[in-house]
């Protein structure tokens, strides 16, 4: 692996990450998962080094996008449902293909299509489409959330008294 100016750590993502447990509150995996052979181990490692309530932001090309299948370095393809397998807060899908990998809470997901004006004629499937996902590692409520919860309970008690 090559050292680059301004880069503190260079690591092989196919091996355990060289960081202590709960070292980060935010991890950015932008166009990484489609290139990694063992995505399950990488997601477990991200979970290990992420602090409780930390965010793992992922972007991958959508499997139906021409760009996803035209790149010979892509070894994994994804659709939106691919990410439900790693969520605690999604209703049981009736099967567990990832052997208990329900680590995260799904905080946000969006599919974005970017037209490539110099390449495409705006026909279906000819956009660079990516899936953006934010996972949150479960953890205790923040203090402001606790106070909000208390306020909502008091408000509900007042409403039920009428």
Tens digit of each residue's pLDDT (9 = 90 or more) over 12-68: 999 999 999 999 999 999 999 999 999 989 999 999 999 999 999 999 999 988 888
Quick one: which of 111, 109, 98, 93 has its CA closest to 56?
109
Q: Does residue 161 carry a pLDDT above 80?
A: no
Place of tokens 């503190």: 8
Structural domain includes residue 57: yes
Structural domain includes residue 14: no
Q: Does residue 93 carry a pLDDT above 50?
A: no
Structural domain includes residue 110: yes
Give the model's confidence band at 131: pLDDT under 50 very low, under 70 low, under 90 confident, else very high.
Answer: very high
Structural domain includes residue 62: yes
Structural domain includes residue 19: no
Write out the residue range of the structural domain in which residue 63 sits.
Answer: 24-161
Q: Does residue 115 carry a pLDDT above 80?
A: no
Q: Does residue 91 carry a pLDDT above 70?
A: no
Quick one: which of 78, 81, 56 has its CA closest to 134?
56
Q: For Cα atoms 44, 22, 82, give the angle at the middle one, nearest 5 degrees.
A: 30
At 48 the pLDDT is 94
Please, which residues bridge with residue 46 across strands? none
State the Cα–Cα distance between residues 33 and 43, nearest whole angstrom.
9
Q: Which two tokens stand for residue 50?
A: 């992420």
At 111 the pLDDT is 87
Q: Report the domain count for the chain.
A: 1
Question: Rounded to the nearest 5°, which phi and psi values hold at 157?
Answer: -65, -40
Helices (H), 11-85: 39-49, 66-70
Between 139 and 86, name the one with better pLDDT: 139
Structural domain includes residue 8: no
Q: Does residue 74 carry a pLDDT above 90?
A: yes
State the Cα–Cα distance between residues 79 and 127, nearest whole angstrom.
15
């Amino acid at each position: 692996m090559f050292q680059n100016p301004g880069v503190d750590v260079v690591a092989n993502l196919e091996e355990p990450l060289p960081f202590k447990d709960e070292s980060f509150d935010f991890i950015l995996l932008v166009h990484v998962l489609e290139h990694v052979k063992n995505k399950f181990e990488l997601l477990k490692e991200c979970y290990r080094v992420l602090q409780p309530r930390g965010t793992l932001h992922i972007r991958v090309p959508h499997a139906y996008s021409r760009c996803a299948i035209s790149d010979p370095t892509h070894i994994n393809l994804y659709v939106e449902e691919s990410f439900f397998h790693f969520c605690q807060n999604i209703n049981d899908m009736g099967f567990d293909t990832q052997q208990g990998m329900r680590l995260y809470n799904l905080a946000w997901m969006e599919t974005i299509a970017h037209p490539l004006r110099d390449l495409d004629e705006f026909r279906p499937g000819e956009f660079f489409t990516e899936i953006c996902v934010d996972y949150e590692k479960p953890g205790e409520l923040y203090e402001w959330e606790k106070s909000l919860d208390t306020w909502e309970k008091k408000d509900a008690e007042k409403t039920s008294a009428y």
